[in-house]
């Protein structure tokens, strides 16, 4: 997604992006209806948030809000671990810092240490869900798929404990993520596991429509869905939009003769503006195939010679043969 | 006690003589067999401790190797547990699992080829008991079948595949290769995890054996699973190739003669046919009504065939989504495949019929297709862009030969072979 601040298109696009950033912190808007009010456990525990109560669980005593992340090689010293009431303050601090500084390396590091403190204290609560959800959304915004996938995996397990959270939102993300990795049996298994309630949720429905559009090579529907992606789905779709655009270009160049209007490409392939569209065409090397036609009136239509462009498009498509999943799984 | 001692003696003797028939009779996993009945009656009165010590003592005096002693001990403990109604199925599985481990201890010996029939029996039993245990506790974190496959079958498979002693199959451990592979595939499909299949397929191809050398039942089973796997990958040609072979080589079914029809083989043939029909439909090859009727599949597929021939998108969607059959298509995991692929073929039919109605003139008005589309799928938002996209897709895939003129909004089809027969069109793999 380009960040160029084009004044004339600032309105809709920028609002959409701002809304997306806002949503990250709307954790009061949970959409699950909890079946029980507390998780079920068999032995008495003194901390009602703890599931899997274990004699050796640590209870932290540190009051230091910020902490760098260090991979653990042995049992941690409780004095370095922050209890939940401190972590809650840390989370507020981190939200503020992210809004102000946008320093991803720092934020990611801090979130990992918060997650670690929660893990060693075996805290699996709605607060844990919130932490993972926020970190996941930040990772998405920065295109850090490895980190996002870690959070997503944890969230899937946490939701299975019936903890409140944005289950539908993240179910939709899971579907979109699988569409990026393109593993057919994973996708089939995922679809089979959806409940009717999930299938009726707008975000999940959207993701399922994306799946259908991809499976049937329907670029027209796909890019409409890209523009209307709810929550942060757009960031996930970003991961495969490039590949699908080249695929669509291939189909268009094979199907249309003698040429195709650039304005058609611009609207069909979900570009924000002419600049983004031309940027894409430049990147795949078809600029030599563009010609202008000065029609009547002020507008100048640009056409793409589809037959000439096809070899360039096919060449550009070669780099999308395999998927690269960066980072940890 | 005495019965146990003579049992141990017989087993040790069979072992020393490498008597493959005797060993299979003795280490029987068939709980309805007489031998197991007799054994269980004796074992019922023994404690686990006394079983162990009896076997140990006898093995010592007969100079039996330790892995054999372990096998006998674990086998007996498993046997009595498996015969009791009060046993927890998960526990029984665990006992068999231990027994299997001991067996593999013997089987890894380089001259253990004669134990291969027993390997096959015990492997089958392992998966069987794992399946039963999972039925009892379907929500367990780790399913017993996947434990069986991951821990035991893969080890056994490695032992089998690395046996280089003989090129003649009947003297080699490789005799069990496809049997084990098929069992493993069955597990993977059951737990819906086919990620490890390509690795297995690659390993099998390096083993230096040919599928044709094996019993037909194993060939058919193997091809069935390969077909299913390729269907997941949307590689329809490979799917068709394997499933067609499997179906052709099933024992012939005659529904009018109850004597000739065996329920198990009928069900297997039907299962193969379901996926074969699904794959072939997407390739534009239709089964006859008689065939569908013979296997009780008319209610699912007949309407689909009619819809594709007519190009009736509404009929296609309505049928697939109708409550009577929707659940079935989803369960068989062919719902999305059919919904998407047949939609494409419907459009191809539709455009072709519109073209024919215009006396085969090369130009097809796209706006006309918009109106038709809106009528059929009852969606007013269906517009020219949707039609252009679908048409472009059909052109790209080779179902129509021609081009779209964007300004004039027409599809111009080529003079010759404008709508090639669907079955002749190259179907590209979805995920390259």
Q: What is the pLDDT of residues A135-173, one digit of tens each?
A: 999 999 999 999 999 999 999 989 988 888 899 999 999
By the 8 A CB rule, do B140 and B122 touch? no
Distance from CA of B432 to the nearest CA of A (A): 6
Average pLDDT over residues A87-98: 93
Q: Which of B382, B383, B389 to mutate to test the interface with A (most CBs of A within 10 A)?
A: B389
Sheet hosting strand B410-413, strand order edge to edge:
B363-365, B410-413, B402-405
Percent of chain A predicted with pLDDT > 90:
50
- Give the fold, CATH level 3, of A242-320: Arc Repressor Mutant, subunit A (1.10.10)
pLDDT at A56 over 70: no
Judged by CB atoms closer than 8 Å, whether chains meet at A261 and B343 is answered as: no
Average pLDDT over residues A18-36: 44
**Tokens describing residue A265:** 């490409």
**Tokens describing residue A93:** 């601090």
Instruction: Name the more confident of A142 and A75.
Output: A142
By the 8 A CB rule, do A49 and A84 touch? yes
By the 8 A CB rule, do A218 and B344 touch? no
- Tell which residue, A309, A307, A180, A289, has the closest CA to residue A246: A309
Distance from CA of B89 to the nearest CA of A (A): 24
Judged by CB atoms closer than 8 Å, whether chains meet at B406 and A212 is answered as: no
Judged by CB atoms closer than 8 Å, whether chains meet at A185 and B388 is answered as: no
Predicted confidence band at A1 (pLDDT cuts at 50, 70, 90)? Answer: very low
pLDDT at B156 over 70: yes
Q: Is the peptide bond before A258 cis (omega within 30 degrees of 0)?
A: yes
Rounded-to-integer distance, Cα B367 and Cα B345, Å: 20
Q: In this predicted structure, which of A167-176, A201-210, B43-52, B335-344 has the lowest mean pLDDT? A: B43-52
pLDDT at A33 over 50: no
Average pLDDT over residues A23-33: 44
Residue A199 CB coordination number (10 Å): 12
Q: CA dihedral defined by B82, B88, B89, B92, rounded to 10 degrees?
A: -50
Rounded-to-integer distance, Cα A32 and Cα A38, Å: 14
What per-residue confidence (pLDDT) applies to B299? 95
Terminal Cα-to-Cα distance of chain B (whole angstroms): 64
What per-residue confidence (pLDDT) applies to B32? 81
Among chain B residues, CA nearest to A317:
B432
What per-residue confidence (pLDDT) applies to A260? 92
Q: What does the domain layout of chain A look like in residue ranges? A: 36-165, 242-320
Window 167-226 of B: residues touching A by CB (8 A cutoff) are: 192-195
pLDDT at A222 over 50: yes
Judged by CB atoms closer than 8 Å, whether chains meet at A257 and B404 is answered as: yes
pLDDT at B374 over 60: yes
Choose among B232, B343, B432: nearest Cβ to A184.
Answer: B232
pLDDT at A78 over 90: no
Judged by CB atoms closer than 8 Å, whether chains meet at B395 and A255 is answered as: yes
Residues of A in contact with B193 (CB under 8 A): 185, 189
Predicted confidence band at A301 (pLDDT cuts at 50, 70, 90)? Answer: low
Choose among B340, B390, B404: nearest Cβ to A215.
Answer: B340
Predicted confidence band at B280 (pLDDT cuts at 50, 70, 90)? Answer: very high
Among chain A residues, CA nearest to B400:
A255
Choose among B386, B406, B432: nearest Cβ to A261.
Answer: B406
Distance from CA of B13 to the nearest CA of A (A): 49
- Tell which residue, B40, B76, B41, B36, has the closest CA to residue B56: B76
Rounded-to-integer distance, Cα A27 and Cα B99, Å: 53
Distance from CA of B158 to the nearest CA of A (A): 25
Percent of chain B predicted with pLDDT > 90:
50
Instruction: Name the more confident of B147 and B422.
Output: B422
Residues of B in contact with A261 (CB under 8 A): 406
Distance from CA of A185 to the nearest CA of B (A): 6
According to DSSP, the residues that pair with A303 across neighbouring strands are A261, A291
Looking at B35-94, which runs of residues are DSSP E strands? none
pLDDT at B40 over 60: yes
Domains of chain B: 297-424 (1.10.10.10)
According to DSSP, the residues that pair with B410 across neighbouring strands are B365, B405
**Tokens describing residue B420:** 């090639």
Percent of chain B predicted with pLDDT > 70:
96
- Tell which residue, B219, B220, B236, has the closest CA to residue B271: B220
Rounded-to-integer distance, Cα B2 and Cα B38, Å: 12
Rounded-to-integer distance, Cα B31 and Cα B38, Å: 11
Among chain B residues, CA nearest to A187:
B232
Average pLDDT over residues B190-213: 87
Average pLDDT over residues B247-255: 79
Residues of A in contact with B370 (CB under 8 A): none
pLDDT at A5 over 50: no
pLDDT at A63 over 50: yes
Rounded-to-integer distance, Cα B331 and Cα B329, Å: 5
Which pLDDT tens digit goes with each residue over A227-236?
999 999 999 9
What per-residue confidence (pLDDT) applies to B430? 47
Rounded-to-integer distance, Cα A165 and Cα A167, Å: 5
What per-residue confidence (pLDDT) applies to A298? 45
- Paired sense of beta strands A290-293 and A301-305, if any: antiparallel
Judged by CB atoms closer than 8 Å, whether chains meet at B330 and A220 is answered as: no
Average pLDDT over residues B375-387: 87
Rounded-to-integer distance, Cα A288 and Cα B383, Å: 32
What per-residue confidence (pLDDT) applies to B45? 84
pLDDT at A258 over 60: yes
DSSP-based three-state secondary structure for B376: helix
Average pLDDT over residues B216-222: 94
What per-residue confidence (pLDDT) applies to A326? 42
pLDDT at B325 over 90: yes
What per-residue confidence (pLDDT) applies to A40? 35
Average pLDDT over residues B350-377: 90
Residues of A in contact with B344 (CB under 8 A): 216
Among chain B residues, CA nearest to A218:
B389
Rounded-to-integer distance, Cα B202 and Cα A10, Å: 54
What per-residue confidence (pLDDT) applies to B122? 92
Burial of B111 (0-12, 13-18, 19+ CB in 10 A): exposed
Q: Give me chain B's average pLDDT, please.
A: 89
The pTM of the whole model exceeds 0.90: no
Average pLDDT over residues A248-257: 94
Predicted confidence band at A289 (pLDDT cuts at 50, 70, 90)? Answer: confident
- Of the segments A52-56, B138-142, B223-227, which one has the largest average pLDDT value? B223-227
Judged by CB atoms closer than 8 Å, whether chains meet at A260 and B406 is answered as: yes
According to DSSP, the residues that pair with A261 across neighbouring strands are A303
H-helix or E-strand containing A320? Answer: none
Q: What is the 3 state secondary structure string of A278-296?
A: HHHHHHCCCHHHEEEECCC
């Amino acid at each position: 997604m380009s960040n160029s601040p084009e004044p004339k298109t600032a309105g809709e696009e920028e609002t959409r992006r701002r809304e997306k950033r806002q949503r990250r912190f709307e954790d009061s808007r949970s959409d699950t209806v909890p079946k029980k009010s507390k998780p079920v456990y068999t032995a008495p525990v003194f901390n009602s948030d703890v599931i899997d109560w274990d004699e050796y669980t640590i209870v932290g005593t540190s009051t230091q809000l910020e902490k760098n992340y260090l991979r653990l090689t042995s049992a941690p010293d409780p004095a370095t671990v922050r209890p939940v009431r401190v972590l809650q303050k840390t989370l507020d601090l981190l939200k503020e810092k992210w809004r102000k500084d946008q320093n991803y390396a720092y934020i990611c590091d801090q979130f990992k240490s918060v997650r670690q403190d929660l893990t060693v204290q075996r805290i699996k609560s709605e607060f844990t869900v919130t932490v993972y959800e926020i970190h996941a959304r930040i990772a998405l915004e920065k295109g850090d798929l490895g980190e996002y996938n870690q959070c997503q995996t944890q969230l899937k397990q946490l939701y299975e404990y019936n903890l409140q959270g944005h289950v539908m939102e993240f179910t939709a993300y899971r579907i979109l993520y699988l569409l990026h990795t393109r593993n057919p049996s994973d996708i089939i298994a995922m679809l089979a596991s959806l409940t009717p309630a999930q299938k009726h949720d707008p975000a999940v429905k959207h993701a399922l429509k994306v799946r259908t559009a991809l499976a049937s090579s329907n670029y027209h529907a796909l890019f409409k869905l890209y523009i209307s992606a709810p929550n942060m789905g757009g960031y996930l779709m970003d991961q495969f939009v490039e590949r699908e655009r080249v695929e669509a270009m291939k189909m268009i160049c094979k199907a249309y003769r003698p040429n195709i209007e650039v304005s058609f490409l611009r609207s069909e392939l979900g570009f924000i503006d002419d600049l983004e569209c031309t940027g894409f065409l430049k990147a795949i090397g078809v600029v030599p195939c563009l010609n202008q036609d000065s029609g009547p009136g002020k507008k100048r239509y640009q056409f793409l010679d589809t037959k000439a462009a096809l070899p360039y498009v096919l060449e550009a498509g070669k780099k999308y043969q395999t998927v690269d999943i960066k980072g940890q799984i | 006690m005495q019965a146990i001692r003579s049992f141990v003696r017989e087993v040790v003797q069979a072992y020393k003589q490498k008597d493959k028939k005797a060993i299979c009779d003795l280490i029987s996993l068939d709980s309805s067999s007489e031998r197991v009945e007799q054994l269980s009656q004796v074992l019922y009165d023994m404690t686990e401790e006394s079983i162990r010590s009896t076997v140990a003592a006898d093995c010592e005096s007969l100079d039996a190797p330790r892995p054999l002693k372990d096998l006998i001990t674990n086998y007996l403990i498993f046997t009595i547990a498996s015969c009791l109604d009060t046993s927890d199925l998960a526990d029984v599985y665990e006992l068999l699992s231990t027994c299997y481990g001991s067996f593999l201890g013997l089987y890894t010996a380089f001259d253990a080829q004669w134990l291969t029939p027993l390997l096959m029996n015990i492997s089958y039993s392992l998966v069987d008991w794992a399946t039963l245990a999972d039925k009892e506790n379907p929500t367990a974190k780790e399913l017993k079948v996947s434990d069986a496959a991951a821990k035991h079958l893969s080890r056994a498979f490695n032992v089998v595949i690395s046996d280089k002693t003989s090129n003649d199959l009947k003297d080699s451990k490789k005799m069990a290769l496809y049997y084990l592979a098929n069992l493993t595939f069955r597990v993977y499909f059951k737990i819906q995890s086919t990620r490890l299949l390509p690795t297995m397929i690659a390993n099998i191809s390096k083993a230096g054996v040919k599928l044709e050398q094996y019993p037909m039942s194993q060939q058919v089973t193997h091809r069935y699973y390969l077909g299913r796997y390729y269907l997941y990958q949307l590689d329809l040609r490979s799917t068709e190739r394997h499933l067609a072979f499997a179906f052709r080589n099933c024992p012939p079914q005659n529904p009018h003669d109850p004597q000739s029809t065996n329920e198990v083989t009928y069900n297997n043939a039907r299962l193969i046919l379901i996926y074969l029909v699904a794959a072939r439909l997407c390739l534009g090859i239709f089964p006859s009504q008689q065939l569908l009727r013979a296997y009780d599949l008319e209610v699912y597929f007949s309407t689909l065939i009619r819809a594709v021939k007519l190009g009736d998108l509404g009929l296609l969607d309505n049928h697939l989504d109708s409550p009577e059959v929707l659940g079935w298509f989803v369960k068989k995991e062919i719902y999305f495949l059919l919904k998407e692929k047949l939609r494409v073929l419907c459009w191809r039919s539709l455009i072709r019929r519109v073209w024919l109605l215009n006396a085969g003139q090369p130009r097809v008005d796209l706006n006309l297709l918009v109106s038709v589309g809106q009528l059929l799928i009852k969606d007013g938002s269906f517009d020219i862009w949707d039609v252009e996209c679908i048409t472009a897709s059909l052109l790209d895939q080779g179902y129509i030969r021609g081009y779209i003129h964007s300004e004039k909004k027409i599809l111009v089809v080529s003079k010759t072979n404008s709508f090639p027969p669907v079955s002749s069109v190259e179907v590209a793999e979805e995920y390259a």
